[in-house]
A = this chain, B = another copy of it.
């Protein structure tokens, strides 16, 4: 697989995933196109989850929601098939991971509703374009993520704490990062906090709850953004009979351009 030429367009990534030619992570593929988290739920839980996202827009920025049974997100990628177009999926039964297939055609149901949720890849690309360094990318690691003591607004069966990602930045870069990420409300937007991890209930920055640790230097502020792991954690905690998500790092590559998601 790794000898193949990487796909050059969003459609090519999806096509390569569809044929099984690409089953790897999507990070760094087709820069400029927004990648997204995927959550697929039976319709009976969809209204609650939609409400959860509406009430918690910073961690759960919805780019698209399909009609029940429709495998195509008409706004985010009108030619896509969500049953085949991600490199890898995870299947969860009552909160337990039971399978990690490369397509979900056999599992598809007419009552499935798919939620396409913005991902920080979009604003990280914007930070890098502006010369703001992103530590975990420099180190080739996953971003460190932390559960906070801030509860999300609950909705039906869905509830849980806000999960945040952390990027250490020098003060002037932190100010620039607030400006830049404010332009992207559809992908978590501005930070939710900077400076005092203990105010979020985070005891030790070197021990993230998800992802990898990165060093915070003495002249840097830890800057925290709402994270797309929040809705995933809320779904897992609710233990619905069946949920399908993307596999970590194997995102849904949309036809939406990063700059299409920018305001101003």
Contacts and interface: CB of A to CB of B under 8 A. Distances in A.
A253 to B, nearest CB: 30
Interface string A191-230: 1111110010000000000000000000101000000000
A190 B175 contact: yes
A264 B175 CA distance: 18
Contact of A194 (B175, B179, B192, B199): B175
A65 B125 CA distance: 40
A195 B173 CA distance: 12
Main secondary structure of the interface of A (DSSP, over half): mixed
A171 B190 contact: no
A143 interface: no
A1 interface: no
B195 A195 contact: yes
What is the interface residue range for chain A against chain B? 10 to 19
Contacts of A178: 175, 178-179, 182
A133 to B, nearest CB: 17
A175, A191, A193, A196 — most chain B CB neighbours (10 Å): A175
A174 interface: yes
B179 A196 contact: no
Contacts of A8: none
A172 interface: yes
B190 A219 contact: no
B195 A172 contact: no
Nearest to A218: B196
Nearest to A192: B172
A172, A178, A264 — most chain B CB neighbours (10 Å): A178
A191 B221 CA distance: 15
A168 to B, nearest CB: 12
A219 B191 contact: no
Given A178-B178, A178-B179, A182-B179, A172 B196 contact: no
User: Closest 9 A-B residue pairs measured CB to CB?
Assistant: A178-B178, A264-B264, A171-B193, A171-B195, A195-B221, A179-B182, A171-B194, A175-B178, A175-B191
Interface of A: 171-172, 174-175, 178-179, 182, 190-196, 199, 219, 221, 264
8 contacts: A171-B199, A172-B192, A175-B194, A178-B178, A178-B182, A179-B182, A194-B194, A195-B221
